[in-house]
Structure 1
């Protein structure tokens, strides 16, 4: 320590002598207090220590700044390029013309690069998803609640529904259509379909919610040894979501879309199957993909309550109906939230879908 001080002060002998004398005085004072030389050295070292924050080297700072500038210029250039291509027709046509030949090889190359990822992770569900990344800034404004403000009960049609498009399509007026030609679907029918097509339906096997925490898959419900009596005794309630195209086709063999849907209507690639024991808990129905929704009572009975959405509570009132086998409830998810309650002594099987 003293040698470093000496090297730094070679050109200033007077200052060096003064500092030496002061250090010696400090040592003499320490000895008068009963300290030995090691303790005095430790005190001097602690007194000379200075807390310094670690300094970032100039080279590292320049490197970070360069990386930031490169990234900023790249993002700015890409934004300018895509804006120009989007808004300027001549540029868009030019870019499209000269990139057609490389579009397929580029996409094929990306696909080959992602093969190791798809082998490691199960990404099959992404093919069926309408939206991979939701936009947090996208917000749908409150609906105009005038269509449902005059609804005080649910209309029941014993005959075929007429003028559906003009009177009910995209409106908030719910009704129940009785379809005597629709076949009943019991628990055993659903189980037989699953067991005969397990390979097709297994992807959706875990897309369910159940009131029994021990149920992890639809296979636990539709197992070959499971009986309807088991469901009744356990008071089980199940919501099973179907999204894969092949699975949808199979489910529709049991419960086809309602007859009143227009031929040009687009049915969502999503359906829900509900299996509820007579004493199962009441539960809310999920929000469907499209606003126009239908709920088919395939077997058993269930009481359904339609509650206006919060934005329509001041305009509309709550209504309810008991769905019997072969009943089809039509409603609009833009205005109503459904909740079902147990009713009757049989297992309730329901199918929920939507269309546009």
Structure 2
């Protein structure tokens, strides 16, 4: 068992140095065999996780010895805040988060060969079939009364944020994803040249994403879209909007999110191809899925359970907006 663990560690270490995504390494025959050997012993898995936890706690303890006063002040402040909406004091590495992630029930993907596209569904049917089951779906008629697909552009977002009183501190409490660009934050991205922003010939492609934490901006955004009609009656969309925008041929690499709820993502402009990978424990039971989401369609996916990557396949800019729902 220790030999299998060491070989797995070596494989992932070499892949990381070569820039190979973990999801691709997990598709290798050798990796699958080693995973099978590791999963054959429940005791060994628990020992492995316990070891990771022990190391983590030891590191946190050592860090706390050197920053005791800082932790004390933070603790007093946290007692009066909702920790679910605060940034982490000690960000956890993605590899560690994936290692301690609880195993998924493979019924979420077993037997799925395609991602369905539906229209005119009731909230009751959506709740029973898709909302919390992990089954991905595309709803094709949920933007009938929206103006977002006509209003939201790069220039629109730039103007909205420049007018916001929070623009100077827009990154506080928010997330920004530069992907393969050089941008350090949203302010820098929105201040790219006009030629590059409009994808003119000779300019460098780009793709970025961010969460909106500015209440003023949120109110403006939501003038142009409404709660998707198919969501369960008792479900609420979270107040944080997610926006993804960029050039043809670009997108997000294979990854899995660390969020609380499933989400809907509305494709306002352009066409985006999604590639979905089941979680590692379901590789032998579930298939890889692909779906292209067109303008006017909403993709519903639990990004915390499905590994996923995206690629803009249209010849124009892609703009997607979305939110989690509970």
Which bracket does the TM-score occupy, shorter chain normalised? 0.5 to 0.7
Moved more, 301-310 or 275-284: 275-284
Question: Aligned residue for 2:190?
Answer: 222
Residue 172 of structure 1: which of 127, 131, 134 is its match? 134
Question: Aligned residue for 2:287?
Answer: 317
**TM-score, normalisation: structure 1:** 0.56
**1:212 to 1:322, Cα distance in 2 relative to 1, 3 A:** closer
Asked if the contact 1:174/1:330 (under 8 Å) is kept, the reply is yes
CA offsets 1:283-340 (integer angstroms, 9 cap, x no match): 2466152232212112111111111111222221111111111210012235312210
Residue 306 of structure 1: which of 273, 276, 281 is its match? 276
Q: Unaligned regions of 5+ residues in structure 1, if any?
A: 1-112, 119-123
**1:328 to 1:281, Cα distance in 2 relative to 1, 3 A:** closer
Q: How large is the Cα RMSD of the aligned pairs?
A: 3.7
Asked if the contact 2:251/2:309 (under 8 Å) is kept, the reply is no
Asked if the contact 1:244/1:269 (under 8 Å) is kept, the reply is no
| Cα distance, 1:141 vs structure 2 | 2.6
Q: Unaligned regions of 5+ residues in structure 2, if any?
A: 1-71
Q: Where does 1:242-321 land on structure 2 (aligned, <5 Å)?
A: 242-243=212-213, 245-284=215-254, 287=257, 289-321=259-291
CA offsets 1:111-137 (integer angstroms, 9 cap, x no match): xx97xxx9xxxxx99894176678999
**1:275 to 1:253, Cα distance in 2 relative to 1, 3 A:** same
Question: Aligned residue for 2:166?
Answer: 200
Asked if the contact 1:308/1:316 (under 8 Å) is kept, the reply is yes
Asked if the contact 1:292/1:354 (under 8 Å) is kept, the reply is yes
Moved more, 310-319 or 282-291: 282-291
**TM-score, normalisation: structure 2:** 0.61
Query: Alignment partner of 2:222: what SS?
Result: helix
Q: Distance in 1 between matches of 2:167 and 2:221?
A: 10
Structure 1 stretches (4+) deviating beyond 6 angstroms?
A: 124-127, 133-138
| Structure whose CA Rg is larger | 1
Q: Distance in 2 between matches of 1:146 and 1:354?
A: 22
Q: Distance in 1 between matches of 2:247 and 2:200?
A: 6
The number of residues matched between the two structures is 237
Q: Distance in 2 between matches of 1:255 and 1:280?
A: 26
Asked if the contact 1:294/1:330 (under 8 Å) is kept, the reply is yes
Query: Alignment partner of 1:306: what SS?
Result: strand
Query: Alignment partner of 2:316: what SS?
Result: coil
| Cα distance, 1:200 vs structure 2 | 2.8
Asked if the contact 1:282/1:339 (under 8 Å) is kept, the reply is yes
**1:153 to 1:297, Cα distance in 2 relative to 1, 3 A:** same
More helix by share: 1
Question: Aligned residue for 1:129?
Answer: 86
Asked if the contact 1:282/1:342 (under 8 Å) is kept, the reply is no
**1:143 to 1:211, Cα distance in 2 relative to 1, 3 A:** closer
Q: Where does 1:1-356 land on structure 2 (aligned, <5 Å)?
A: 128-129=85-86, 139-162=100-123, 163-178=125-140, 179=142, 180-183=144-147, 184=149, 185-197=152-164, 199-205=165-171, 207-211=175-179, 213-223=181-191, 226=194, 228-230=197-199, 233-243=203-213, 245-284=215-254, 287=257, 289-356=259-326
